[in-house]
């Protein structure tokens, strides 16, 4: 081979080699993540918990897996559009937090795996055939909020006069939670005031309604929008001098009175673990749906003092955490 031809061949090879190398590199999997809230309302601790779950099987965000986030900014009506965007990207899986988001995701795709973190029974919602064998493209964590609501009602009543009315704050877009709360109200046989809110303006009106009804306390339903607006909710409860009970520690951590429920960080870590297993090749139809087994009572004693509420020593003794 002539020297000039050899030099030309080597030059062409040098140019083509990086391209061939890039072409042989495996595609980094993408996780679609749909959130009801806004970026400015996000909780870094929960994102870190999800990343920790992924890392259990060697997936590092920004390294060998990426996340495409979509924010509904408190508007459930935007979910179909956002999910359509994600489905077009053909992600390895979609993470859906909350009943409404999970149901919207299941309507958007029947083939892309979905990992959910929901409040209600996934079988009743139509997301799975059974807890042990989901049978479709969705699996994850089910909190079974109805049972927790009864317990939270019992706990808040320990702070109130015997015949006090308890109010419920519910997002009407979350029809399954609304029905569960109505069922709880009927089962107790006591008078309850239900206020509904699906956006920030509704929250103001809902607390005004509860204050006018002279409820002794309010239970805030498990809802992704409410979680994203926890600072506003706690501020409204304080302004109206209403003792309030929540499902997540994240509320008393910012001044809410009390919470009873599983660890939200722990739940997000388990969702991350599910996502990692699917990335490794597991099928959602074969991954059993989990339910939390550990629940924590958190009381903010500073808020109790500000509201003029005496926390019985017996209740304080049962608390897993008391925030001073």
Fold agreement (30-143+263-286, 145-261+295-323)? yes
Using alpha carbons, select from 273, 264, 274 the residue that is nearest to residue 298: 264
CATH among 3.40.50.720, 3.40.30.10, 3.90.470.20, 3.40.50.2300 for 145-261+295-323: 3.40.50.2300
Polymer length in residues for the chain: 324
How far apart CA 278 and CA 287 sit, in angstroms, is 9
For the chain, what are the domain ranges? 30-143+263-286, 145-261+295-323
- Give the pLDDT of residue 2: 53
Please name the residues in contact with 251: beta carbons below 8 A apart, sequence gap of 6 or more: 220, 230, 233, 234, 244, 259
How far apart CA 105 and CA 112 sit, in angstroms, is 9
- Give the pLDDT of residue 6: 46
Q: Do 203 and 236 contact (CB within 8 A), yes or no?
A: yes
Task: Give bridge partners of residue 244 from the DSSP assignment.
Answer: 218
- Give the pLDDT of residue 26: 63
Tens place of pLDDT for every residue, the chain, 324 residues?
555 554 444 444 444 544 544 444 568 999 999 999 899 888 899 999 999 999 999 999 999 999 999 999 989 999 999 999 999 999 999 999 999 999 999 999 999 999 999 999 999 999 999 999 999 999 999 998 878 888 999 999 999 988 899 999 999 988 888 888 888 878 887 778 999 999 989 999 999 999 999 999 999 999 989 999 999 999 999 999 999 999 999 999 999 999 999 999 999 999 999 999 999 999 999 999 999 999 999 999 999 999 999 999 999 999 999 998
Please name the residues in contact with 267: beta carbons below 8 A apart, sequence gap of 6 or more: 117, 141, 143, 292
Q: Do 71 and 35 contact (CB within 8 A), yes or no?
A: yes
What distances in angstroms separate CA 30 from CA 14, 33, 60, 63, 87, one per listed residue? 31, 10, 12, 11, 11
How far apart CA 130 and CA 22 sit, in angstroms, is 43
Longest Cα–Cα distance of the chain, Å, equals 102
- Give the pLDDT of residue 181: 82
What distances in angstroms separate CA 187 from CA 150, 177, 190, one per listed residue? 9, 15, 8
Q: Crossing angle of helices 79-89/99-108, nearest 10°?
A: 50
- Give the pLDDT of residue 22: 42
CATH among 1.10.3720.10, 3.30.1300.10, 3.60.110.10, 3.40.50.2300 for 30-143+263-286: 3.40.50.2300
- In tens, the pLDDT along 12-42 reads 444 454 454 444 456 899 999 999 989 988 8
How far apart CA 239 and CA 254 sit, in angstroms, is 14
- Give the pLDDT of residue 14: 47
């Amino acid at each position: 081979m002539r020297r000039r031809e050899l030099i030309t061949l080597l030059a062409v090879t040098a140019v083509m080699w990086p391209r061939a190398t890039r072409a042989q590199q495996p595609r980094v999997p993408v996780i679609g993540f749909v959130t009801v809230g806004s970026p400015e309302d996000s909780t870094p601790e929960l994102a870190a918990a999800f990343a920790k779950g992924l890392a259990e099987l060697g997936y590092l965000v920004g390294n060998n897996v990426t996340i495409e986030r979509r924010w509904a900014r408190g508007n459930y009506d935007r979910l179909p559009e956002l999910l359509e965007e994600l489905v077009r990207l053909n992600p390895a899986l979609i993470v859906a937090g909350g009943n409404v988001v999970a149901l919207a995701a299941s309507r958007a795709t029947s083939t892309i795996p979905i990992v959910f973190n929901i409040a209600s029974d996934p079988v009743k919602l139509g997301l799975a055939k059974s807890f042990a064998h989901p049978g479709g493209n969705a699996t994850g964590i089910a909190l079974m909020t109805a049972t927790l609501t009864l317990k939270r009602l019992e706990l808040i009543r320990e702070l109130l006069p015997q015949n006090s009315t308890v109010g419920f704050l519910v997002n009407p877009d979350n029809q399954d939670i609304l029905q569960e709360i109505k069922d709880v109200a009927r089962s107790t046989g006591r008078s309850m005031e239900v206020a509904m809110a699906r956006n920030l303006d509704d929250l103001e009106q809902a607390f005004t309604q509860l204050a006018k009804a002279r409820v002794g306390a309010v239970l805030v339903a498990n809802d992704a929008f409410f979680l994203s607006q926890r600072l506003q909710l706690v501020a409204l409860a304080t302004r109206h001098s209403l003792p309030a009970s929540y499902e997540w520690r994240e509320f008393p951590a910012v001044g809410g009175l009390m919470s009873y429920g599983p660890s939200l960080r722990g739940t997000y870590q388990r969702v991350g673990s599910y996502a990692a297993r699917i990335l490794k090749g597991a099928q959602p139809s074969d991954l059993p749906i989990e339910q939390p087994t550990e629940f924590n009572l958190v009381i903010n004693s500073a808020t109790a003092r500000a509201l003029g509420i005496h926390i019985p020593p017996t209740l304080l003794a049962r608390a897993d955490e008391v925030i001073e």
